[in-house]
């Protein structure tokens, strides 16, 4: 499970990489160092992605990303 300390310690690499959190949420770390929260799910056999927001000073916190993840999962469960 991710923490704010762990997120701040993530370093960019030559290629995009992902780190799993919980409830299907993960962060994607770009070569530029930008970190975004995402949720993958399946719809009719196809993998879809919900962008939850960008981490950092100008973005959202880990706690807010987890709330948005749960809200998105509820909406998907309701068929929205």
5-24: pLDDT as tens digits: 999 999 999 999 999 999 89
For the stretch 30-48, what's the b/e string if a residue is b when 16 or more beta carbons lie within 10 angstroms of its beta carbon?
eeeeebbbbbeeeeeeeee
The pLDDT tens digits for 24-35 are 999 999 999 999
Q: Is the pLDDT of residue 45 over 70?
A: yes
Domains annotated on the chain, with CATH: 4-77 (3.30.160.390)
Statement: residue 80 has pLDDT above 70: no
pTM greater than the 0.85 cutoff: yes
As a three-state string, the secondary structure of the chain is CCCHHHHHHCCCCCCCEEEECCCCEEEEECCCCCEEEEEEEEECCEEEEEEEEEECCCCECHHHHHHHHHHHHHHHHCCC
């Amino acid at each position: 499970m991710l923490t704010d300390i762990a997120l701040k310690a993530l370093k960019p690499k030559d290629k995009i990489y992902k780190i799993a959190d919980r409830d299907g949420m993960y962060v994607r770390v770009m070569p530029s160092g930008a970190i975004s929260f995402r949720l993958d799910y399946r719809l009719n056999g196809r993998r879809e992605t919900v962008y939850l927001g960008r981490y950092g000073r100008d973005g959202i916190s880990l706690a807010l990303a987890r709330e948005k993840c749960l809200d998105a999962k509820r909406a998907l469960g309701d068929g929205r």
